[in-house]
Amino acid sequence: MATQFSNVYSRFIGWAKIILPLMGLAILSSLFLFSKSYVPQTGAELFDGNIEDFASTERITGPRFAGMSASGVAIQLSAAEAHPRADSAGAFDATVLVADVEFPNGEKLNIIAEYGYIDSGTMSAALAGGIELKTSNGYTAKTAGMT
């Protein structure tokens, strides 16, 4: 009787050696056969513009300039993008300019302009294009340009 039991056990082990690897192979192959195919996007997803123009022109994104006048007025000027000017070193044409001016008495002035010119050599700036000025006192003014 013991021989018959060991014979069944041996047969079971023999079949298990064949069936279990085949089942594993079937599971792994179905993983690759039924998976979703990946189609990569064409081009960079985060860049919307012309790549040749982006690579060929010099620019600074998010520049910030800061300084203090002799009378103690603190000025911070930031822009979305700036391009260096060819005619003078340290001068930039900038877009979407935001200036924060803080006076010694604590009053603040916020200036927003569409575009402008920044010259770090002469420590001056000229703003243009729908300029909006807001003071901490609540006053608001609009102008076409300012230096």
Beta strands in 5-136 (DSSP E): 60-61, 64-68, 74-84, 91-102, 108-119, 124-135
Does pLDDT of 117 surpass 60?
yes
Cα(84)–Cα(91) distance, rounded to whole angstroms? 6
Q: What is the pTM of this model?
A: 0.60
Annotated domain spans of the chain: 59-146
Cα(67)–Cα(50) distance, rounded to whole angstroms? 35
Of the two residues 89 and 132, the one the predictor is more confident about is 132
Q: Alpha-carbon torsion 47, 51, 55, 59, what sign?
A: negative
Biggest CA-to-CA distance, the chain: 110
Q: What is the pLDDT, as a whole number, of residue 130? A: 86
Strands 74-84 and 124-135: unpaired
Q: What average pLDDT does this structure show over 5-17? A: 86
Residue 75's φ and ψ, nearest 5 degrees, are -125, 130
Q: What is the pLDDT, as a whole number, of residue 1? A: 47
40-65: b (≥16 Cβ within 10 Å) or e: eeeeeeeeeeeeeeeeeeeeeeebeb
Q: What average pLDDT does this structure show over 102-130? A: 89
* pLDDT tens per residue across span 12-69: 999 999 999 999 999 998 888 877 776 666 655 666 667 777 777 788 888 898 888 8
Q: What is the pLDDT, as a whole number, of residue 7? A: 84
Q: What is the pLDDT, as a whole number, of residue 90? A: 82
Cα(124)–Cα(91) distance, rounded to whole angstroms? 9
